[in-house]
Amino acid sequence: MQKDDLHTIRFAAIICLVCSMGLAGVQGSLRGIQQKNKTIDGQINVLKALNPDFAPDGSPLSEDERLSYFLDGQVPKELIPDYFENYVVKEDVTLEDGKTDILYKLKKDDKVVAYAFPAQGKGLWSTVHSYVGLQSDMATIRGITFFDHGETPGLGGECSKPWFQKNFRGKKLWDDGEPVKLMIAKGDAEPETPYNVDGMSGATITGNGIEKFVNNTFREYNEAVFSEQRAM
Protein backbone atom coordinates (compact mmCIF):
# COMPACT_ATOMS: atom_id res chain seq x y z
CA MET A 1 0.00 0.00 0.00
CA GLN A 2 1.31 3.41 -0.89
CA LYS A 3 2.15 5.93 1.74
CA ASP A 4 -0.48 8.54 0.79
CA ASP A 5 -3.19 5.87 0.61
CA LEU A 6 -2.49 5.15 4.24
CA HIS A 7 -2.65 8.85 5.00
CA THR A 8 -5.99 9.08 3.13
CA ILE A 9 -7.53 6.27 5.12
CA ARG A 10 -6.21 7.55 8.40
CA PHE A 11 -7.44 11.06 7.66
CA ALA A 12 -10.90 9.81 6.64
CA ALA A 13 -11.17 7.76 9.81
CA ILE A 14 -10.16 10.65 12.03
CA ILE A 15 -12.49 13.17 10.41
CA CYS A 16 -15.42 10.75 10.63
CA LEU A 17 -14.68 10.05 14.25
CA VAL A 18 -14.33 13.72 15.19
CA CYS A 19 -17.48 14.77 13.33
CA SER A 20 -19.62 11.98 14.69
CA MET A 21 -18.44 12.57 18.23
CA GLY A 22 -19.10 16.27 17.86
CA LEU A 23 -22.60 15.67 16.54
CA ALA A 24 -23.38 13.12 19.20
CA GLY A 25 -22.26 15.63 21.81
CA VAL A 26 -24.40 18.42 20.44
CA GLN A 27 -27.44 16.21 20.05
CA GLY A 28 -27.05 14.72 23.47
CA SER A 29 -26.76 18.06 25.17
CA LEU A 30 -29.69 19.66 23.33
CA ARG A 31 -32.05 16.70 23.38
CA GLY A 32 -33.65 17.67 26.66
CA ILE A 33 -34.59 21.15 25.47
CA GLN A 34 -35.82 19.88 22.12
CA GLN A 35 -37.99 17.23 23.73
CA LYS A 36 -39.49 19.84 25.99
CA ASN A 37 -40.23 22.14 23.03
CA LYS A 38 -41.97 19.30 21.27
CA THR A 39 -44.06 18.28 24.27
CA ILE A 40 -45.10 21.86 24.94
CA ASP A 41 -45.94 22.35 21.28
CA GLY A 42 -48.19 19.29 21.33
CA GLN A 43 -49.82 20.35 24.58
CA ILE A 44 -50.52 23.87 23.31
CA ASN A 45 -52.35 22.34 20.38
CA VAL A 46 -54.50 20.19 22.64
CA LEU A 47 -55.29 23.23 24.79
CA LYS A 48 -56.22 25.27 21.70
CA ALA A 49 -58.85 22.65 20.92
CA LEU A 50 -60.10 22.27 24.50
CA ASN A 51 -60.11 26.05 24.92
CA PRO A 52 -60.47 26.18 28.74
CA ASP A 53 -62.42 29.12 30.18
CA PHE A 54 -60.54 29.03 33.48
CA ALA A 55 -56.96 29.40 34.67
CA PRO A 56 -55.23 26.40 36.28
CA ASP A 57 -55.98 27.87 39.72
CA GLY A 58 -59.70 27.61 38.91
CA SER A 59 -60.36 31.34 38.45
CA PRO A 60 -62.23 32.36 35.30
CA LEU A 61 -60.36 33.75 32.30
CA SER A 62 -61.53 36.87 30.52
CA GLU A 63 -62.58 36.62 26.90
CA ASP A 64 -59.46 38.47 25.77
CA GLU A 65 -57.19 36.20 27.77
CA ARG A 66 -58.89 33.16 26.33
CA LEU A 67 -58.43 34.41 22.77
CA SER A 68 -54.78 35.22 23.30
CA TYR A 69 -54.07 31.95 25.16
CA PHE A 70 -55.97 29.43 23.11
CA LEU A 71 -56.51 31.06 19.73
CA ASP A 72 -53.19 32.81 19.25
CA GLY A 73 -51.46 30.13 21.29
CA GLN A 74 -49.84 32.64 23.67
CA VAL A 75 -50.68 30.65 26.78
CA PRO A 76 -47.88 31.20 29.34
CA LYS A 77 -45.59 28.17 29.24
CA GLU A 78 -45.59 27.75 32.99
CA LEU A 79 -49.37 27.21 33.07
CA ILE A 80 -49.35 24.35 30.57
CA PRO A 81 -48.18 21.53 32.87
CA ASP A 82 -50.76 22.62 35.48
CA TYR A 83 -53.60 22.15 33.02
CA PHE A 84 -52.36 18.70 32.12
CA GLU A 85 -51.80 17.60 35.69
CA ASN A 86 -55.13 18.76 37.06
CA TYR A 87 -57.74 19.11 34.35
CA VAL A 88 -56.89 17.31 31.14
CA VAL A 89 -57.59 13.59 30.98
CA LYS A 90 -56.31 11.50 28.12
CA GLU A 91 -58.30 8.38 27.27
CA ASP A 92 -57.83 5.61 24.75
CA VAL A 93 -60.88 4.91 22.66
CA THR A 94 -61.58 2.14 20.18
CA LEU A 95 -62.99 3.35 16.89
CA GLU A 96 -64.50 1.23 14.16
CA ASP A 97 -62.23 -1.42 12.63
CA GLY A 98 -60.80 -1.84 16.09
CA LYS A 99 -58.22 0.94 15.69
CA THR A 100 -57.49 2.84 18.83
CA ASP A 101 -57.04 6.56 19.12
CA ILE A 102 -57.11 9.13 21.86
CA LEU A 103 -59.72 11.42 23.30
CA TYR A 104 -58.87 14.32 25.57
CA LYS A 105 -61.37 15.50 28.15
CA LEU A 106 -61.21 18.78 29.98
CA LYS A 107 -62.68 18.09 33.41
CA LYS A 108 -63.54 20.60 36.07
CA ASP A 109 -65.28 19.67 39.33
CA ASP A 110 -65.74 16.13 37.95
CA LYS A 111 -67.73 17.42 35.02
CA VAL A 112 -66.52 17.20 31.44
CA VAL A 113 -66.38 20.71 30.01
CA ALA A 114 -64.85 19.91 26.67
CA TYR A 115 -63.70 17.06 24.45
CA ALA A 116 -60.88 17.07 21.92
CA PHE A 117 -59.82 14.45 19.43
CA PRO A 118 -57.00 14.30 16.89
CA ALA A 119 -57.86 14.35 13.20
CA GLN A 120 -55.67 14.37 10.16
CA GLY A 121 -55.92 14.09 6.41
CA LYS A 122 -54.57 15.24 3.10
CA GLY A 123 -54.56 18.90 2.13
CA LEU A 124 -53.04 19.87 -1.19
CA TRP A 125 -49.38 18.95 -0.67
CA SER A 126 -49.23 17.35 2.70
CA THR A 127 -50.97 15.73 5.62
CA VAL A 128 -52.60 18.37 7.81
CA HIS A 129 -52.78 17.49 11.50
CA SER A 130 -55.40 18.85 13.78
CA TYR A 131 -57.20 18.62 17.09
CA VAL A 132 -60.92 19.27 17.10
CA GLY A 133 -62.43 20.45 20.38
CA LEU A 134 -66.11 20.12 21.20
CA GLN A 135 -68.30 21.70 23.86
CA SER A 136 -69.81 19.42 26.48
CA ASP A 137 -72.83 19.03 24.14
CA MET A 138 -70.55 16.96 21.88
CA ALA A 139 -71.91 18.94 18.93
CA THR A 140 -70.50 22.45 18.86
CA ILE A 141 -66.89 23.22 18.00
CA ARG A 142 -65.17 24.84 20.94
CA GLY A 143 -61.72 25.19 19.49
CA ILE A 144 -59.74 23.76 16.63
CA THR A 145 -56.13 23.77 15.59
CA PHE A 146 -54.28 22.80 12.44
CA PHE A 147 -50.55 22.23 12.61
CA ASP A 148 -47.63 20.29 11.20
CA HIS A 149 -48.53 20.70 7.56
CA GLY A 150 -46.64 21.50 4.39
CA GLU A 151 -49.27 23.62 2.66
CA THR A 152 -48.34 26.74 0.68
CA PRO A 153 -47.52 29.60 3.04
CA GLY A 154 -50.07 32.36 2.61
CA LEU A 155 -52.61 30.12 0.88
CA GLY A 156 -53.35 26.68 2.36
CA GLY A 157 -50.78 27.42 5.05
CA GLU A 158 -53.21 29.97 6.47
CA CYS A 159 -55.01 27.01 8.08
CA SER A 160 -52.60 27.28 10.99
CA LYS A 161 -53.44 30.96 11.51
CA PRO A 162 -55.78 32.16 14.27
CA TRP A 163 -58.16 33.98 11.90
CA PHE A 164 -59.01 30.77 10.11
CA GLN A 165 -59.28 28.63 13.22
CA LYS A 166 -61.55 31.20 14.80
CA ASN A 167 -64.09 30.71 12.00
CA PHE A 168 -64.83 27.21 13.27
CA ARG A 169 -65.76 28.20 16.79
CA GLY A 170 -69.45 27.79 17.50
CA LYS A 171 -70.05 25.83 14.31
CA LYS A 172 -71.91 22.55 14.60
CA LEU A 173 -71.00 19.00 13.65
CA TRP A 174 -74.16 17.52 15.16
CA ASP A 175 -77.61 19.01 15.13
CA ASP A 176 -81.15 17.75 15.71
CA GLY A 177 -80.02 14.27 16.62
CA GLU A 178 -77.85 13.64 13.60
CA PRO A 179 -74.44 14.53 12.22
CA VAL A 180 -74.42 17.56 9.95
CA LYS A 181 -71.86 18.23 7.31
CA LEU A 182 -69.57 21.08 8.15
CA MET A 183 -68.69 22.94 4.98
CA ILE A 184 -65.71 25.18 4.32
CA ALA A 185 -66.49 27.88 1.80
CA LYS A 186 -64.15 29.23 -0.84
CA GLY A 187 -63.67 32.56 0.85
CA ASP A 188 -66.53 34.06 2.83
CA ALA A 189 -69.32 31.63 3.68
CA GLU A 190 -72.71 32.45 2.24
CA PRO A 191 -75.27 32.13 3.62
CA GLU A 192 -74.10 32.24 7.20
CA THR A 193 -75.27 29.06 8.86
CA PRO A 194 -73.98 27.06 11.82
CA TYR A 195 -72.40 24.57 9.39
CA ASN A 196 -70.79 26.97 6.99
CA VAL A 197 -67.22 28.08 7.72
CA ASP A 198 -65.42 31.02 6.09
CA GLY A 199 -62.62 29.49 4.07
CA MET A 200 -59.24 30.52 2.72
CA SER A 201 -59.40 32.05 -0.72
CA GLY A 202 -56.92 30.51 -3.11
CA ALA A 203 -56.77 27.30 -1.08
CA THR A 204 -59.83 25.35 -2.18
CA ILE A 205 -58.15 21.96 -2.10
CA THR A 206 -56.68 22.44 1.37
CA GLY A 207 -60.14 23.57 2.53
CA ASN A 208 -61.83 20.56 0.94
CA GLY A 209 -59.32 18.23 2.55
CA ILE A 210 -59.86 19.75 5.98
CA GLU A 211 -63.64 19.64 5.53
CA LYS A 212 -63.46 15.96 4.67
CA PHE A 213 -61.25 14.80 7.50
CA VAL A 214 -62.92 16.90 10.18
CA ASN A 215 -66.36 15.55 9.21
CA ASN A 216 -65.18 11.96 8.85
CA THR A 217 -63.21 11.87 12.06
CA PHE A 218 -66.11 13.40 13.97
CA ARG A 219 -68.38 10.68 12.62
CA GLU A 220 -65.98 7.97 13.74
CA TYR A 221 -65.75 9.40 17.24
CA ASN A 222 -69.47 9.97 17.26
CA GLU A 223 -70.23 6.31 16.51
CA ALA A 224 -67.67 5.05 18.97
CA VAL A 225 -67.98 7.47 21.88
CA PHE A 226 -70.35 10.40 21.68
CA SER A 227 -73.58 8.62 20.69
CA GLU A 228 -73.19 6.32 23.69
CA GLN A 229 -72.52 9.20 26.03
CA ARG A 230 -75.49 11.18 24.76
CA ALA A 231 -77.75 8.20 25.43
CA MET A 232 -76.60 8.01 29.05
Contact set with another protein (CB under 8 A): 4, 7-8, 11-12, 15-16, 19, 22-23, 26-27, 30, 33-34, 37, 41, 148, 150, 152-155, 202
Shortest separation between residue 211's beta carbon and another protein, angstroms? 21
Q: From CA 164, how far away is CA 199, in angstroms rounded?
A: 7
With respect to another protein, which residue has the nearer C-beta, 19 or 89? 19
With respect to another protein, which residue has the nearer C-beta, 42 or 179? 42
In Å, how far are 49, 51, 52, 227, 229 from 141, measured between CA atoms?
Answer: 9, 10, 13, 16, 17
Residue 61 phi/psi, 5-degree rounding, is -100, 145
With respect to another protein, which residue has the nearer C-beta, 38 or 107? 38
Shortest separation between residue 116's beta carbon and another protein, angstroms? 21
With respect to another protein, which residue has the nearer C-beta, 4 or 85? 4
With respect to another protein, which residue has the nearer C-beta, 4 or 57? 4
Shortest separation between residue 3's beta carbon and another protein, angstroms? 11
Shortest separation between residue 40's beta carbon and another protein, angstroms? 8
Q: From CA 88, how far away is CA 158, in angstroms rounded?
A: 28
Shortest separation between residue 41's beta carbon and another protein, angstroms? 7
